[in-house]
Chain A
Amino acid sequence: MAKDYYKPEDLKKFGTIGNYQKPLADKFFAWYGEVFKEGALTEKEKDLIALAVAHVVQCPYCIDAYTTNCVKNGYSEAQMMEAVHVGAAIKGGAVLAHSVQMMNKNEEISF
């Protein structure tokens, strides 16, 4: 078994996922590329969204990649941290919002 689950150099191997299933990988990479192109949102705006989401899904590869992109594109340190807080708040909020379900169930099964 591997000693470390995450290795920075593995990011460069991402493209090789096509070795096991090429048609799906090709579709994914083409779609991914399209998503990040300038559209109704600028590439720069998409980078900041990606940074926040990368934290929420806790992907170290994406955190590295989109931190670099955000710095390159001129986001300040404060802007990047605020974006992460937005992601964290949504995640925290989602956890707490589920507590309504907990309360509902509690009411349902309790005297």
Chain B
Amino acid sequence: MSWPVKTIAERTGDLLPGSPWTAALYVLLTILAVTAFMTVTGLVLIYAERKIAAHFQCRLGPMRVGWHGVLQTIADALKLLLKEDIVPRDADALLHILAPVLSFAGMLLVMIALPMSPSLQVADMNIGVLYVTAVSGLGVLGILLGGWSSNNKWSLLGAMRAGAQIISYEVSATLALLVVVLFSGTLQLSGIVQSQEAGWWIWRAHGCGIVAFAIFLIAGTAEINRTPFDLAEGESELTAGFHTEYSGLRFSFFFLSEFLNMFVLAAMTSTLFLGGWMPLHIGHFTVFNGVMDIIPPGLWFTFKTTGMIFLIMWFRWTFPRLRVDQLMRLEWKILLPIGFVNLFVSAACVVTGCYFFAR
């Protein structure tokens, strides 16, 4: 079974020769749909996080607004929209306003490259992996600017911590990502998904996949500033870190991009290591593969991403926060050497063709 990939960008291109207005309308609808998707995903994630966190801690979580509190996040979002939007007097007003937008933009730009199903992907670049690595760096710029422009020592400390942390862990994340690029032989995200038709890279790559998966998950959790790596906003140390001085709509931008970053990380992990929208296949077992193909690819993507999100939430509500020096030691003395060795071993595997179902 082949999987023809058609992106939204390509469909717009097809429409363009006929009537530019139809194409423009199509683009507009796409933008609306993406916005709606992000809002809904963000709200659902926040609700899920609160509920799951509560049950991890023997609590119930929101119960009052709507059935089991399902409308709680909507109520909170409305409240945030109505809050006064404060720019502190001594803050750098332009940068203060720009920072949440940059942070959001970094997340948004990664989002458009995610392959959610063969027919649902906004743009499919032939250098997708490189693009994702590059634009996700915009997020740290937003955090740094937010902390810097607030003119507040806690914000500045949080931002500097976040900067050091994200830049350090980006190295390990990229090394783990390169393992998959080596095995699949392409930088295109849909190409990486297609290359897992015989099986997911996490188990096909003779252990290298599992190591790379673990490194990517740890480094990714650090990059999105979630516990156990939430030093940038550790409330017991820095009140709220880089977004201490933010309120109302701008705070909600930071908040939303934090949660959608979790979605992006989960989606990237499942795309790279768990086959993205590709159903669970095992080599040449045609019958088994056929049965798995009954479930549509979009659902596979949803399952895998949800599973990863759940895992990340589980981490957050179990593990204690690291100290700054422990954080740096974990990256530079443990993850980075393991990542390099893993990269060399997988290069050897690829050269000798020593992995499951090599072509």
Whether chain B is bound by chain A comes out as: no
